[in-house]
Amino acid sequence: MEKAHAVPFESANIPAKQSKFRHTWREYKKSRYLLLMLLPVLVWYAIFCYGPMYGILIAFKDYSPVLGTWDSPWNNFAYFDYLFNQSPEFPRILKNTVIISGLNILFGFPAPIILALLLNELRISWFKKMAQSISYLPHFFSWVVLSGIVFLMLSPSTGPVNYVLGWFGIDPIYFLGDTRYFRFSLVITNIWKEVGWGTIVYLAALSGIDQTLYEAARMDGANRWKQTWHVTLPSMLPIISIMFILSLGGILNAGFDQIYNLYSPAVFEVGDVIDTYVYRQGIVNFQMGLTTAVGLFKNVVGITLVLGTNYIVKKMGQEGVL
């Protein structure tokens, strides 16, 4: 990474008094092919991402379809007021959201890294390939389809999970109907669904590691564990750090589909999150504005976290997002 300082060759020759503009112009001219590549990309972002950006205004307006976004009246932060001051449930919902998605990051983020490393250690190559293609299967089913199977697996009376726990003398646990276990069940089932799919990017990173590094480590007498610690993990660190930063951006997205399909009134207390709350509000109240306001709030929190971690990660010498 240290070698990557591609300082333009002649930059030292530029006279200090040369105007900034001419300096910029020369740099642009030198990078013209790169800019030519970037141009259509920027046009695309301008049209498809920045074009509709004015819609953020809806978060601050009493949106009326007849008047449209621009002419709808301002509402004096009514949605934010409603969320933060009026809504009795919001503090609890915000707390649930942060806890569930925090647990998802804490346990769900390392899971595919660990699985990728384990797969990497497997010696039987046909089994390794097969395991890769099987472990990502649940990713392809939506939660609507999977929820019935999850209920079956975690059932206190007929589920195999509780059957196995019984071997250890543990009484049946009502994973999805008991407020003490519901969040935990969300995290576990989410790992089950996504872990195999998540390994793919790390397996790609693993495949890029220079084999000579392992040879050198073996020469030095490093065992497998030491090779993993000193060669494999450092080589994966760039991809791990960017994946981590970007995952923090979704801290207020606790996974609508999963929770909506797995929760029930019995666990509202611990399982109700921002998205499920807005969904229930929106259905009754046709509130495009509230939805937009909540989205805006979530994203401001997300981007703040991303910029913060990005700063820390860069301080630690890794490539960040920005």
* Binding to other proteins, residues 208-247 (CB under 8 A): 208-212, 224, 238-239, 242-243, 246
For position 308 contacting other proteins by CB under 8 A, the verdict is no
* Contact present, 200 and 136 (Cβ < 8 Å): yes
First to last CA, the chain: 16
The distance of closest approach from Cβ of residue 17 to other proteins in the complex, given in angstroms and rounded to an integer, is: 20
The distance of closest approach from Cβ of residue 124 to other proteins in the complex, given in angstroms and rounded to an integer, is: 7
* Contact present, 108 and 191 (Cβ < 8 Å): yes
- Give the interface segment with other proteins, choosing from 73-81, 100-108, 129-137, 226-234 (CB under 8 A): 129-137
* Contact present, 79 and 290 (Cβ < 8 Å): yes
- Give the interface segment with other proteins, choosing from 12-20, 97-105, 146-154, 226-234 (CB under 8 A): 146-154
The interface mask with other proteins, positions 5-44, x = CB under 8 A, is: xxxx---------------x--xx-xx-xxxxxx-xxx-x
- Tokens representing 177 are 């109907």
Distance of alpha carbon 21 from its chain centroid, rounded?
40
The number of residues that bind other proteins (CB under 8 A) is 126
Interhelix angle 90-103/274-285, rounded to 10 degrees, is 140
What is the rounded distance in angstroms from the CA atom of residue 213 to the CA atom of residue 237? 16
Q: In this complex, which beta carbon is closest to other proteins, that of residue 100 or of residue 202?
A: 202
What is the rounded distance in angstroms from the CA atom of residue 168 to the CA atom of residue 280? 41
Distance of alpha carbon 58 from its chain centroid, rounded?
26
The distance of closest approach from Cβ of residue 313 to other proteins in the complex, given in angstroms and rounded to an integer, is: 11
Among 106, 134, 170, 216, binds other proteins (CB under 8 A): 134
Among 96, 100, 113, 138, binds other proteins (CB under 8 A): 138
- Residues numbered 244 to 303 that lie near other proteins (CB under 8 A) are 246, 249, 264-266, 268-269, 272, 280-281, 283-286, 288, 291-292, 295-296, 299-300, 302-303
Residue 194 phi/psi, 5-degree rounding, is: -110, -10
Q: In this complex, which beta carbon is closest to other proteins, that of residue 33 or of residue 167?
A: 33
Q: In this complex, which beta carbon is closest to other proteins, that of residue 100 or of residue 252?
A: 252
* Contact present, 196 and 286 (Cβ < 8 Å): no
- Residues numbered 66 to 125 that lie near other proteins (CB under 8 A) are 66, 68-69, 87-89, 115, 118-119, 121-124
Which residues, in sequence order, are CB contacts of 277 under 8 Å at separation 6+? 89, 90, 93
